[in-house]
Amino acid sequence: MVDSIMGKLRRRFLWVALSVLLVTCLGIFSPTIAQTQQWRSLSNVVWGKDLPAFSYAFNKTPLVLYDGGTTKQVGTYNFPVSKGMAGVYMSLEPGAIRELHWHANAAEWAYVMEGRTRITLTSPEGKVEIADVDKGGLWYFPRGWGHSIEGIGPGTAKFLLVFNDGTFSEGATFSVTDWLSHTPIAWVEENLGWTAAQVAQLPKKQVYISSYGPAPGPLASATPQGQTAKIEVPHTHNLLGQQPLVSLGGNELRLASAKEFPGSFNMTGALIHLEPGAMRQLHWHPNADEWQYILDGEMDLTVFASEGKASVSRLQQGDVGYVPKGYGHALRNSSQKSLDILVVFNDGDYQSIDLSNWLASNPSSVLGNTFQISPELTKQLPVQDTTFSLPTQK
Question: Could you give the residue numbers annotated as active site?
Answer: 98, 101, 103, 108, 147, 170
Look at residues 228, 238, 275 and name the one whose alpha carbon lies nearest to residue 120: 228
Among the listed residues 35, 163, 82, 106, the one whose alpha carbon sits nearest the alpha carbon of residue 325: 82
**CA 237, CA 263: separation in Å to the nearest integer?**
9
Chain-centroid distance, C-alpha 57: 13
Spatial distance between the Cα atoms of 305 and 321, rounded to a whole number of angstroms: 15
**What's the rounded Cα separation, in Å, for the pair 330 and 321?**
12
Q: For residue 197, which phi and psi values (nearest 5 degrees)?
A: -65, -40
